[in-house]
Structure 1
Amino acid sequence: MSRIATFTIIGLLLAAPVLTAQAQSKHSNTPAKPKKLFCWNEGKERICSDALPQDAVNSAREEFSVNSGLRKGGVDRTLTEQERADAAVAAAQHQLDQAAEDTRQRTEQAMLSTYQDEADLRRVFVERTGILDNNVQTANYNVASLRSALVTLLGSAGDRELAGEPVAPKQAEDIRLRHAELVAQKRMQDSYVEQRKALDVEIEETLQRYRLLKGVSTDPRG
């Protein structure tokens, strides 16, 4: 196997047709098998050879015809396990993005063909709006009730302490339980409020998109 650096590649390519012609004249009865010249990088050095060593098999390389000196193609380097995993994730994400775009386009077409006007479209959100409004109201009532009950229990426990009496174990346990219930209910209340705000945003964005698809101006001046 011969290995040469970049500065000799031009001479080799220029001499290749002559050498090939000489070889064919000596073996005119045996068709010459097309040979390739491989070029790849090893660090900062450019290496070219008519045979590919094992340690360069996974490297990116270019391939030239020894007969004509023309570039015949190239091979990208072999990806690492991490790069293959990253590529698979990217491909899967691209597929998901394309599916989401296809769904969006179908949804928009259905929107145009199904709903005659904004009022018709708003009715789609009536049920969700009603459910969330009811959840918020129920959570508000529960939070108020639990807070009132906790204040009463704390007041009673405070009165006992002021009177020099210890807080009964059951009373202390009731305070702990009421406080835990209040914290949990408050979290639920906050969640319902955030969901209701998010729904308002979704409704407005949907209406804006509908107006755009319909070609209706969103400018209040018309």
Structure 2
Amino acid sequence: MSRVPAIALLLVLLPSLACAQPSKEEKQKKLYCWNEGTERICSDALPADAVNHARDEFSVNSGLRNAQVQRALSDDERAAAGAAAAQVRLDQMAEQTRQRTEQAMLATYASEDDLRRVFSERKDVIDNNLRTAAYNVASLRSALVALLGAAGDRELSGGKVPDKDAEAIRQRHAQLQAQQRLQLSFEQQRQALDGEIEATLQRYRELKSALPAG
């Protein structure tokens, strides 16, 4: 195996490439060129320590580059490339699903009113949850105010609030906060559903308008 800097090797090979009549085996021979640090190396055989390098492959017969091989990826790079490819497949599947869903929507619902009825059950469930949460918040707040009032009156009269009453106040306050968080969650769900309904109806109108007349 000869291994020399690229410029020197090419200067040696060019005259012979111009004059020689290559045999069948010579036509299949390759010249490999790759970088080692700042130096460009060329060889008629690829050493083991250069297999993972990015390289150019030239035909010994013509001197023309007939292949360009990228360097081997690291484990992290292969994992990233695999994740990117998987995401592309997922995006393609999502787009196909979206197209099938839109086609089914047009075939199933003759009007916007028909489409709105699809969302009515979800709206009813969320609205019922909102009403229940609002009632619980009001009830817990009223009970907490009563407990705090009784404790305040006892302290104002010079007494001490019993431990069980103080614990009841802490528990009722925690229950009220939990119910308020639940109420906020239901409100956010309702807003999200309203946005979903409007976006779906808008897309339905666009698809309808794109249909041929008749």
Task: Determine if the TM-score, normalized by the shorter chain, exceeds 0.5.
Answer: yes
Taking the aligned partners of 2:16 and 2:98, their CA distance within structure 1 comes to 59
* Aligned mate of 1:56, from 41, 50, 54: 50
**Distance in 1 separating the partners of 2:50 and 2:146:** 81
Q: Which residue of 2 aligns with 1:135?
A: 129
Give the structure 2 partner of residue 75 of structure 1.
Answer: 69
Q: Which runs of 5+ in 2 are unaligned?
A: none
Q: 2:114 & 2:81 partners in 1: Cα distance?
A: 44
Structure 1 gap segments, 5+ residues each: 25-30, 217-222
* Count of aligned positions: 209
Q: Is the 8 A contact 1:16 1:69 kept in 2?
A: no
Offset of 1:8 from its aligned partner?
A: 3.1
SS, match of residue 68 in structure 2? strand
Q: Distance in 1 between matches of 2:12 and 2:206?
A: 65
Structure 2 vs 1, CA of residues 32 and 197 (structure 1 numbering), >3 Å: closer, same or farther? Answer: closer
Q: Identity of paired residues, percent?
A: 63
Indicate the residue corresponding to 1:220 in structure 2: none
Q: CA RMSD in A?
A: 1.8
CA contact (8 A) 1:16 1:67 kept: no
| Matches of 1:187 and 1:103, distance apart in 2 | 35
Please give the alpha-carbon distance, in whole angstroms, between the structure 2 residues aligned to 1:4 and 1:88: 37
Q: State the distance in 2 between where 1:145 and 1:16 align.
A: 98
Q: Distance in 2 between matches of 1:20 and 1:163?
A: 117
Letter in 1 for 2:6: T
* C-alpha deviation, 1:68, in angstroms: 1.7
TM-score of the superposed pair, with normalisation by structure 2? 0.91
State the 1:153 CA deviation.
0.3
Q: Alpha-carbon deviation of 1:70?
A: 1.9
What's the CA shift string for 1:164-222, capped at 9, x where partnerless?
Answer: 11111111111111011001100000000000000000000000000000118xxxxxx
